[in-house]
């Protein structure tokens, strides 16, 4: 029941009991008044009876003294008592107003008759005495008839007093009982009213208001401080306190939801910030290894529950090679053909999960964890693959983070494409388009770097020229000449390996720089190179081109001269080799071997 209803009921019952208590007090007061009136009636009637008896005796005494002594004072006294007797007779006639019973009235009438009879005898005795017959007068006043009437009168008065005493006593007792009963009822209802008031005060104010409010005060205080971890006991009461408790519970639930949303928003903002930081660093990467390191550094921070691999397509676009990894994924191969991934086949992100709701990629082994393959594309071309793998089936993260995963893949794809495009542009700027060798400008930069950073350290320079190159162009066409040029360039690249760097100097001339090598060692290397080039016959489009020979000039630094004169000295040695009949190696120091 609601507190308002309880209060209204308690108020109504209290008013009712208070009213009944008032009525009981009023009735008790009326009973007390009736009791007092009964006592007064008893006193009046008892006094009347006593006065009747006493008055009759006094009149008789006055009459007797008068006839015996003849003293007029006694006669006057007799007449005075007679007047009192008339007043008593008038009072007897008004006794009905006091509620006298019929027996009482009959007794009074009998007293009145007997008093009249006595009065007649006494008056007759006084008349006889006044006439001089004292003996007759005394005989009447002291005779048996007078005594009988006087005794009867006194007995009747006593009976009247007993009747009035009995009646007024009963009325008095009834009035007293009613007064006591109504007084008890009034006190009882007042006690009930007080008990009801105290009960309502305890039950409503203490149990249903004060105690819940005290309990909720601490809860509301903690909620005001945004401490939503406080437990709010759910009160099922259907009253104002219950509604307040329900409101506090809803407030706490909303606060928890708001905190959860704030935490998700902060986490989402943190994820966006990390993605933005990663994008900035991806844009600043200059080589593919730096890009893979950036991805491997930021991906675990953005998605701590996802391991992953970064793959890049080879130049033939047939297979993918692992270039970056983080958090140690377990279920994807390091290298696999592009046809083994459904994501690359479809050109869209593909989920391979343990629930087998979709077909799994062939580059993944059997597992209960989900894996997401996101193709890396740029301007419509697929350039690689970003693979994410859930670290545990109990921590699903692929579907919840898929939007961000695809966003990251898009930016990584653009970054990889930019690096590849930059590498292509760099190659076009520093490499020869026909042979793939570094060009003359790279050679000049390398020599300048040698002057700045490696001054005083050994360096061998080989100037290489294809003998009678014009013959291949004239007899077999320029395409054949290009094949010869590419053939010689490839052999030089293979021979140099990690020993040095090969450049196309111009036309059919090439240059090799071999650092940390003496002139003698350079000579031996040149001879092996010349022998390898000359021992392999060439063919083009089914036609035998014959063997290719080269002339080589060698110069070294710093023992035989400075780096600044290295190219000049090597070129002079090459010219000397060509002048001597070609297909030979000549050292600028004068050492010649054919």
Query: What pLDDT, in 10s, does the model give residues 535-573?
Result: 877 877 777 788 899 999 999 988 888 888 999 999 999
Report which of residues 6 and 263 the model is more confident about. 263
Position 515 scores a pLDDT of 93
Contact 38, 171 (CB under 8 A): yes
pLDDT > 70? residue 156: yes
Mean residue pLDDT across the chain: 80
pLDDT > 60? residue 593: no
Helix (H) or strand (E) holding 221: helix 211-224
pLDDT > 90? residue 173: no
pLDDT tens for 28-76 read 677 667 667 666 666 666 676 666 667 777 777 777 777 777 777 777 7
Average pLDDT over residues 337-350: 90
Position 233 scores a pLDDT of 67
461 bridge partner residues? 513, 555
pLDDT > 90? residue 420: no
Least confident of 241-255, 340-354, 447-461: 241-255
- pTM of the entire predicted model: 0.53
Contact 46, 165 (CB under 8 A): yes
Confidence of residue 498 (pLDDT cuts 50, 70, 90): confident
Cα–chain center distance at 246: 14
Quick one: which of 366, 363, 412 has its CA closest to 386? 412
Report which of residues 13 and 468 the model is more confident about. 468
pLDDT > 90? residue 204: no
Domain ranges (residues) in the chain: 3-196, 285-428, 432-593
Position 102 scores a pLDDT of 76
Helix (H) or strand (E) holding 324: strand 319-326
Q: Which of 111-120, 241-250, 316-325 has the highest mean pLDDT?
A: 316-325
Confidence of residue 592 (pLDDT cuts 50, 70, 90): very low
State in words which class domain 285-428 has: alpha beta
Q: Phi/psi zone of residue 477: left (φ > 0), alpha (ψ -120 to 50 degrees), beta? A: left
Contact 569, 588 (CB under 8 A): yes
pLDDT > 60? residue 381: yes
Least confident of 72-86, 296-310, 435-449, 533-547: 72-86
Position 162 scores a pLDDT of 79
Position 453 scores a pLDDT of 83
Arch. (CATH architecture) of 3-196: Up-down Bundle (1.20)
Quick one: which of 489, 487, 511 has its CA closest to 500? 511
Q: What is the DSSP letter of 206?
A: I
Q: Catalytic residue, from 112, 389, 390, 508: name it.
A: 508
Q: What is the DSSP letter of 201?
A: I
Query: CA–CA separation, 49 vs 41, rounded Å?
Result: 12
Helix (H) or strand (E) holding 350: strand 350-352
Query: CA–CA separation, 346 vs 502, rounded Å?
Result: 43
Q: Which of 44-58, 330-344, 413-427 has the highest mean pLDDT?
A: 330-344
Average pLDDT over residues 204-209: 62
Confidence of residue 4 (pLDDT cuts 50, 70, 90): low
pLDDT tens for 93-151 read 555 555 667 777 777 777 777 777 777 887 787 788 778 777 887 788 777 887 787 78
Q: Which of 159-168, 185-194, 550-559 has the highest mean pLDDT?
A: 550-559
Which parts of 70-143 fold into alpha helices (H)? 72-93, 102-130, 134-142
293 annotated active-site: no
Contacts of 507 (CB under 8 A, 6+ apart): 469
Q: Which CATH superfamily includes the segment(s) 432-593? A: Reverse transcriptase/Diguanylate cyclase domain (3.30.70.270)
Query: CA–CA separation, 425 vs 413, rounded Å?
Result: 18
In residues, how long is the chain?
594
Quick one: which of 316, 312, 284 has its CA closest to 298? 284
Query: CA–CA separation, 509 vs 528, rounded Å?
Result: 18
């Amino acid at each position: 029941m609601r507190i308002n209803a309880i209060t209204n009921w308690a108020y109504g019952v209290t008013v009712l009991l208070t009213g009944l208590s008032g009525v009981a007090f009023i009735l008790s007061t009326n009973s007390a008044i009736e009791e007092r009136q009964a006592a007064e009636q008893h006193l009046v009637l008892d006094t009347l009876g006593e006065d009747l008896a006493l008055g009759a005796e006094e009149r008789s005494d006055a009459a007797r003294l008068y006839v015996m002594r003849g003293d007029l004072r006694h006669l006057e006294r007799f007449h005075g008592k007679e007047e009192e007797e008339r007043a008593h007779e008038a009072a007897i006639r008004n006794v009905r107003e006091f509620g006298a019973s019929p027996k009482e009235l009959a007794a009074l009438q009998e007293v009145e008759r007997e008093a009249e009879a006595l009065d007649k005898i006494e008056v007759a005795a006084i008349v006889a005495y006044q006439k001089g017959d004292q003996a007759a007068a005394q005989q009447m006043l002291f005779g048996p008839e007078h005594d009988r009437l006087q005794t009867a009168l006194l007995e009747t008065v006593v009976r009247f007093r007993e009747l009035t005493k009995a009646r007024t006593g009963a009325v008095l007792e009834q009035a007293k009982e009613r007064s006591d009963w109504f007084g008890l009822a009034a006190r009882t209802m007042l006690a009930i009213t007080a008990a009801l008031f105290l009960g309502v005060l305890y039950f409503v104010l203490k149990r249903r208001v004060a105690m819940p409010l005290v309990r909720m005060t601490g809860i509301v205080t903690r909620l005001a401080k945004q401490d939503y971890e406080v437990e709010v006991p759910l009160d099922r009461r259907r009253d104002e306190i219950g509604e307040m408790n329900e409101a506090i519970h809803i407030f706490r639930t909303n606060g928890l939801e708001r905190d959860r949303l704030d935490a998700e928003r902060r986490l989402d903002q943190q994820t966006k910030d990390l993605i933005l930081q990663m994008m900035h660093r991806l844009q600043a990467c200059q080589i593919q290894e730096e890009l893979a390191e950036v991805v491997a550094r930021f991906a675990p921070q953005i998605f701590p529950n996802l391991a992953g691999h970064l793959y890049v397509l080879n130049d033939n676009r047939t297979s993918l090679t692992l270039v970056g990894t983080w958090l140690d994924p377990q279920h994807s191969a390091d290298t696999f053909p592009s046809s083994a991934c459904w994501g690359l086949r479809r050109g869209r992100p593909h989920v391979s999960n343990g629930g087998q709701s979709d077909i799994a990629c062939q580059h993944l082994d059997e597992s209960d964890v989900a894996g997401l393959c996101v193709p890396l594309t740029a301007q419509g071309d697929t350039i690689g693959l970003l693979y994410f793998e859930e670290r545990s089936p109990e921590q699903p993260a692929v579907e919840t983070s898929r939007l961000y995963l695809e966003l990251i893949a898009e930016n990584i794809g653009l970054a990889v494409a930019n690096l590849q495009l930059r590498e292509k542009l760099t190659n076009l700027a520093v490499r020869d388009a026909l042979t793939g060798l570094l060009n003359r400008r790279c050679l000049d930069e390398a020599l300048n770097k040698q002057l700045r950073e490696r001054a005083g350290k050994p360096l061998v320079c080989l100037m290489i020229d294809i003998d009678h190159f014009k013959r291949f162009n004239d007899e077999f066409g320029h395409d054949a000449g290009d094949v010869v040029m590419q053939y010689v360039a490839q052999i030089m690249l293979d021979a140099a390996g990690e020993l040095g760097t090969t450049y196309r100097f111009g036309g059919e001339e090439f240059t090799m720089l071999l650092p940390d090598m003496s002139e003698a060692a350079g000579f031996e290397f040149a001879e092996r190179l010349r022998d390898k080039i000359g021992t392999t016959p060439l063919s083009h489009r089914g036609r035998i081109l014959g063997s290719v020979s080269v002339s080589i000039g060698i110069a070294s630094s710093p023992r035989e001269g400075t780096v600044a004169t290295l190219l000049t000295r090597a070129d002079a040695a090459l010219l000397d080799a060509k002048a001597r009949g070609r297909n030979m190696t000549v050292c600028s120091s004068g050492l010649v071997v054919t």
